[in-house]
Structures are given as C-alpha cells and as structure tokens.
C-alpha cells in the first residue's frame, strides 16, 4: 500500500479536509502528525484513530517566525518525514471595500506565508533525504476570483504562483509538489471564514451546503497524491464556471456577480 508506514504531517487536521485526510490515510497505514490550534479536537481525533500511530503537534500557524522550529519538531517526532499536506486555511465573506487591511494580512499570513515558511524549511531536509512530497490545498479561488473572497482569492493565487515555480525548479528532483484546487466542499469553511472586521463570519452559506462531501473530496486528493499529480482538481459544477471564465468571460462575471454579491 502506497501510504503504509509513510510519515504524513497534516496541518489543519482538526477539521474538514485535513481531518478527513487523516482518517483516510490512517486506514491506509500512514503514521500521522496532526497540526491545528484546537488541542481538544486533535486529541479526540487521535483517539478516533485507535490503530494508527499518531502525534499531535499543536501550533498557531499565524506565528510565522516559529515555523522553522516547528518543522524541526515535526521531523524529530519519527526521525523522518515523507509527506506534508498543508490544509490549514481560512476563507473570507466580505466585499473587498468592506474588508479591513488587517483581514487581508491575516489571510496572507495563514494561506500564503505559513505554507511558504513550512515549505522553505522542509526543502533542504527533503533534498538531503533524496525525496519528499509537498501538498497544499489551494482552491478554485486560487484560479479565478469570486465575490466576497478578495483576500482569500489573492492568498490562494499567491500560493499557486509560489508552488508552480517550485514545480519548475524541482523538476529534476524526487521532491513532488501537488496543488489541490477544490471547488465547494461541505465543511465548516464558511462558518470559520473572516468577516470584513476580522470577526468569525459564523454562517454556513449555500455554497458550502451544496458542496461535495468531504470524504469524496479526500479520496480524490489521496488518489492524486499517489500519482504525484502536480494539480489536483476537485470540481463539480464549478468546472462549468471555470470554462465560462476562460471562453466567455463576460458570462462568468455576470454569473459570479449574481451568485456571490449580497
């Protein structure tokens, strides 16, 4: 089995996509390192994963300066690391002009600077080890803009640019970089999103409710990882939106405005 005894570090493991990846990878024999800020939830997940070797490495990824030290700790837990899957992230539900600059900074820190800092610290280690897999959960908002997500889309576009550049630079190495582009997945992403003033948005919007189940999403991510896919698209109806954006942009902007602007 591909993931049997592989050491997989998952950020954002306390909820949604990260949590479900942990559950599915545990069934496939992976050794897990789970990161999030909510220790109680991480502990509950660890007890759910009875038969899997699991470590908890709680951390607030907004503390970017401490990330090199965090990476060292992650490697030391099992003495080596095969995969990092960076799912920690936060969305936004506010019109651009109503979004405080602090919110933009927070979204960039969590969705861009934190995964960059983790990746930068891991690269020398993976190079020395001779192999390694880096996966970051971006979003369809990393491909096209959508109302109420100006800062979120900017951060996800930014991480795409960084990782695609790495994919070119690492082409001749045994270090694989996968970028995941989910559309709407049924998780707490909208509840946990930031409002314009930095408060938690607190509502599940219809986009999340109509989303793909998180278990189907994660099965597709794992299947893409097994093939070292550089881009893993997890899209349903959003595929059509993307098609409109590419071929009939005026139609895309009309639909996005009608669907997204409140």
Ligand X SMILES: NC(=O)c1ccc[n+]([C@@H]2O[C@H](COP(=O)([O-])OP(=O)(O)OC[C@H]3O[C@@H](n4cnc5c(N)ncnc54)[C@H](OP(=O)(O)O)[C@@H]3O)[C@@H](O)[C@H]2O)c1
**Do 233 and 144 form a contact (C-beta atoms < 8 A)?**
no
Please say whether the dihedral angle defined by the alpha carbons of residues 189, 192, 197 and 203, taken in this order, is positive or negative.
positive
* Stretch binding ligand X (CB under 6 A), from 7-15, 94-102, 165-173, 221-229: 7-15
Map the footprint of ligand X across residues 16-55, applying CB under 6 A: 16-18, 36-38
Q: Which residue has the tokens 């709680």?
A: 58
Cα 193 to Cα 55, 57, 127: the distances in Å are 27, 23, 36
Annotated catalytic residue within 152, 162, 252, 253:
152
Segments in 170-213 forming alpha helices (H): 206-209
Q: Is residue 56 a contact residue for ligand X (CB under 6 A)?
A: no
Q: Is residue 178 a contact residue for ligand X (CB under 6 A)?
A: no
* Stretch binding ligand X (CB under 6 A), from 11-19, 125-133, 169-177, 243-251: 11-19
Map the footprint of ligand X across residues 111-150, applying CB under 6 A: 137, 139
Shortest Å, Cβ 38 to ligand X: 3
Among 30, 33, 110, 175, binds ligand X (CB under 6 A): 110
d(CA 231, CA 235): 12
Closest to 220 in 3D by CA, of 209, 210, 231: 231
Q: Is residue 213 a contact residue for ligand X (CB under 6 A)?
A: no
- In the annotation, is 252 catalytic? no
CB of 167 or CB of 192, closer to ligand X = 192
Query: Mind spelling out the 3-state secondary structure of 17-82?
Result: HHHHHHHHHHHCCCEEEEECCCHHHHHHHHHHCCCCCEEECCCCCCCHHHHHHHHHHHHHHHCCCC
CB of 129 or CB of 260, closer to ligand X = 260
CB of 60 or CB of 223, closer to ligand X = 60
d(CA 152, CA 172): 32
* Stretch binding ligand X (CB under 6 A), from 26-34, 88-96, 167-175, 242-250: 88-96
Which residues are the active-site residues? 152
Site for ligand X, rule CB under 6 A: 12, 14-18, 36-38, 60-62, 87-91, 110, 137, 139, 182, 184-185, 187-189, 192, 208, 211
């Amino acid at each position: 089995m591909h993931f049997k005894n592989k050491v997989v570090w998952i950020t954002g493991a306390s909820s949604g996509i990260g949590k479900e990846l942990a559950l599915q990878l545990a069934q496939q024999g992976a050794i897990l390192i789970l990161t999030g800020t909510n220790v109680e939830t991480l502990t509950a997940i660890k007890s759910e994963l009875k038969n899997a070797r699991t470590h908890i490495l709680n951390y607030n990824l907004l503390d970017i300066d401490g990330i090199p030290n965090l990476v060292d700790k992650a490697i030391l837990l099992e003495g080596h690391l095969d995969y990092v899957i960076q799912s920690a992230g936060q969305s936004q539900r506010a019109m651009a002009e109503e979004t405080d600059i602090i919110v933009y900074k927070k979204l960039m820190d969590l969705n861009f600077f934190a995964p960059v800092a983790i990746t930068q610290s891991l690269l020398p280690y993976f190079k020395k080890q001779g192999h390694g897999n880096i996966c970051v959960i971006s979003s369809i908002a990393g491909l096209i803009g959508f109302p109420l997500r100006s800062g979120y889309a900017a951060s996800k576009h930014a991480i795409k640019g960084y990782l695609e550049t790495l994919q070119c630079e690492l082409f001749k190495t045994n270090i694989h970089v996968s970028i995941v582009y989910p559309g709407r997945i049924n998780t707490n992403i909208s509840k946990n999103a930031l409002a314009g003033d930095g408060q938690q948005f607190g509502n599940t919007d219809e986009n999340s409710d109509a989303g793909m189940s998180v278990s189907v999403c994660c099965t597709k991510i794992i299947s893409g990882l097994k093939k070292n896919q550089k881009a893993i698209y997890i899209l349903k109806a959003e595929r059509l939106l993307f098609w409109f954006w590419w071929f009939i942009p005026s139609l895309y902007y009309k639909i996005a405005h009608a669907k997204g602007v409140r």
